[in-house]
Structure 1
Amino acid sequence: MPKPVADKLSAEIIRISKTPEWTRAMGELGAIPETMGPADFNRFVRAEVTRWGDAVKAANVKVD
C-alpha cells in the first residue's frame, strides 16, 4: 500500500477509534481500544505472529 494511502487510512482509523460511540461499542464487547500508528501496528503484528507461531509449533498444531 502506498505510504500516503496508509497514512491517511491510519489517521482516519485513529480518529474514529477515539469517538465515544466507538469506545462504548468496544467496551460492550469487552475490548479496550488502543490506537497506534502504522509503524507501531506493523511491529505489533510481527511480534504477535512470532509469539503465536512459536506457541502453535510447540503445541504441534496441524490444520486439517
Structure 2
Amino acid sequence: MSAPNAGRQSPEPETQTGAQQGDHPAQPGSGKIDESKGKDEGKDDQLSGLSSNPKHVLQEHSDASTSKTT
C-alpha cells in the first residue's frame, strides 16, 4: 500500500477495527467480585512470623565496613 504522505497511515474510519477505534479491550475478570468463602483462610498463618520492618541482608556488613572503629 502506497500512501500519498510519508509515514504510517491509518485506514479510513469505516474500515477500522474495534481496537483502532478506541474500544476498550476485553479484560478477563474485569468487573467481577470474588465472593468465595475460603479465599481468606490461612492468610493469618503466613503473616504471624514476619517482622514489621525486616533487616536488610547486607545491613550488618554495611555497618561493620562503614564504622569508624577498627
Q: TM range, normalised to the smaller chain?
A: under 0.3
TM (norm. structure 1) is 0.23
The structure where helix makes up a greater share of residues is: 1
TM (norm. structure 2) is 0.22
Give the greater-gyration-radius structure (CA).
Answer: 2
